[in-house]
Amino acid sequence: MVLEGLGKSLRDVISHISGSSVVDEDLIREVSKELQRALLQADVNVQLVLEITNKIQERALNEKPPAGKSSKDHVTRIIYEELVALLKNGVPFEYKPQTIMMVGLYGQGKTTTAGKLALHLTKKGFSVGLIGADVYRPGALDQLQQLGAKINVEVYGEPGNPKAAEIVKNGKAKFADKKIVIIDTSGRHALEDELIQELKDIAEVSNPDERILVLDSQVGQQAGPQADAFHKAVGVTGVILTKMDGTAKGGGALSAVAKTKARIIFIGTGEHIRELEPFNADSFISRLLGMGDLSSLMRIAKEELEDEEKALQEMMSGALMGRFTLSDMYVQMAAVNKMGPLQKVMSMIPGLGNMQDKIDYEESQRRLSKFRVIMDSMTKEEKDDPNLIKGKRIERIAKGAGVGTYDVKGLLKQYNQSKKMMSSFGKDRKMRKQLMKQLGGMDLDEFEDMQ
């Protein structure tokens, strides 16, 4: 989880409050000290830390809890509100047809984030085109093209052409039918005049709706001055903080950027192309405080499952009619596995956060790949009716897949268990109805008429 250290110390503060017998001045002062320590450790600016803890102290001492609320809840609420206020900036990112220009220094994550954003917006249903306008760094276009290929998004570039603005102009014309165009630009080690001119030229020909500054969160409190400088140069409309996964001190960048009134719209939380999260101060703080955040949870679960949903639905309606093959089981397992970053989802559920260690996702991924290989050595007949697979067949399949016979038996065992589970769903009318409803499948009566 992002800012795990800060999250843990904040949750300790909250449990200190809920575990104490009375909320009095002493407790509030203690809690305030603990908060200071937690925020300073996450690299939040000292001045800011004092401001925020003074405010919390003052409110906690003077405000009466609203009717029906305990003073413990009230103090917790104040902490939550003040932390949110620290990070709340501007309107959320708008999902609409638009041109987006990425800017930032070397190595901040512009190209990677352009790819992540392209995938995120594709999943929202937009057609997206990527323009590679980094004419400075060798290999920049290659990097973008590889990302594009991975997520099935078209990339426009002109290898050898040193004029970034020209490339962008041609790219925009090429992508006239795309709803969203994302422009990846060059960086430098520092904000130089040459770069500023290049970015201004690109902005002039493409008229971007968003000029997004990509900032590595490891820069800590330096994020504020950098955001300011870029804003003066090219008019930044939003910030994406990257590498929030790799730093215990992400609080520095977050708060420094927020302080400049720059609007943080996404955060990058890993190297993987899916690891981009819309930034929302309320849910971010809820999660840090361990209050859980159902809306992000639902969003992630939905996105993760969207691709699999249809296959899963078909599989389920088949299974409820008594048809459950090995291929069906594979679809089912792959769908569950697709929840890959389920660890993230779980970290949003209060109380479940620490369960994540107990589930080994890499292990389940390995198992799934092994099953795939084994199934590839089976005939269609065998996959449809795994009961055929006995004795010699097991040996043949194991040999073909380059695994042991116990691996094949393991797969069959898992199959039989899943089948049993599926058929018990099938027998339980109430369960069936609920399941179909959840999967958005057809109505049960309609379904029974078909049989």
SS (H, E, C) 258-289: HHCCCCEEEEECCCCCCCEEECCHHHHHHHHC
- Region near ligand GDP per CB under 6 A, out of 15-23, 100-108, 331-339, 366-374: 100-108
- Helix (H) / strand (E) element for 315: namely helix 294-320
| Residue 246 touching ligand GDP (CB under 6 A) | yes
Residue 268 partner contact from Mg ion, ligand GDP, none using kind-dependent CB cut-offs of 5 to 8 Å: ligand GDP
Q: Contact with ligand GDP (CB under 6 A): which of 270, 290, 353, 386? A: 270
| Residue 110 touching ligand GDP (CB under 6 A) | yes
Q: C-alpha angle with apex 261: 257 to 265, nearest 5 degrees?
A: 65
Q: Contact with ligand GDP (CB under 6 A): which of 17, 82, 104, 265? A: 104
Report whether 248 contacts 223 (CB < 8 A): no
The tokens of 301 are what?
């679960």
| Residue 112 touching ligand GDP (CB under 6 A) | yes
- In the complex with ligand GDP, the residue whose CB is nearer, 284 or 371, is 284
| Shortest distance (Å) from residue 134 CB to ligand GDP | 7
Q: Helix or strand or coil: residue 382?
A: helix
Q: Contact with ligand GDP (CB under 6 A): which of 211, 243, 383, 419? A: 243
Q: Around Cβ 336, how many Cβ atoms within 10 Å?
A: 15
Tell which residue, 31, 29, 38, 32, has the closest CA to residue 8.
38
Residues between 204 and 223 with contacts to ligand GDP, criterion CB under 6 A = 214
Residue 242 partner contact from Mg ion, ligand GDP, none using kind-dependent CB cut-offs of 5 to 8 Å: ligand GDP
| Residue 250 touching ligand GDP (CB under 6 A) | no
| Residue 271 touching ligand GDP (CB under 6 A) | yes
- In the complex with Mg ion, the residue whose CB is nearer, 66 or 139, is 139
SS (H, E, C) 339-365: CCCHHHHHHCCCCCHHHHHHCCHHHHH
What share of residues in the chain are helix, strand, coil (percent, to 5)? Answer: 60, 10, 30
| Residue 242 touching ligand GDP (CB under 6 A) | yes
| Residue 106 touching ligand GDP (CB under 6 A) | yes
Residue 246 partner contact from Mg ion, ligand GDP, none using kind-dependent CB cut-offs of 5 to 8 Å: ligand GDP
| Residue 341 touching ligand GDP (CB under 6 A) | no
Residue 448's identity, in one-letter code, is E
How would you classify residue 193: left for phi > 0, otherwise alpha for psi between -120 and 50, otherwise beta? alpha
- In the complex with ligand GDP, the residue whose CB is nearer, 102 or 297, is 102
- Region near ligand GDP per CB under 6 A, out of 8-16, 106-114, 279-287, 401-409: 106-114
Report whether 137 contacts 104 (CB < 8 A): no
The tokens of 124 are what?
């929202």
What whole-number distance in Å separates Cα of residue 170 and Cα of residue 154?
A: 14
Which parts of this chain interact with Mg ion (CB under 5 A)? 110-111
| Residue 187 touching ligand GDP (CB under 6 A) | yes
| Residue 198 touching ligand GDP (CB under 6 A) | no
| Shortest distance (Å) from residue 230 CB to ligand GDP | 13
- In the complex with ligand GDP, the residue whose CB is nearer, 271 or 395, is 271
Q: Which residues are within 8 A (CB) of 326 and not within 5 positions of it... i.e. 6 or more apart?
A: 375, 378, 382, 383, 384, 386, 411, 415
| Shortest distance (Å) from residue 214 CB to ligand GDP | 6
What whole-number distance in Å separates Cα of residue 288 and Cα of residue 4?
A: 8
To the nearest 10 degrees (0 to 180), the angle between helices 391-401 and 361-376 is 110
Contacting positions for ligand GDP (CB under 6 A): 104, 106-112, 187, 214, 242-243, 245-246, 268-271, 275
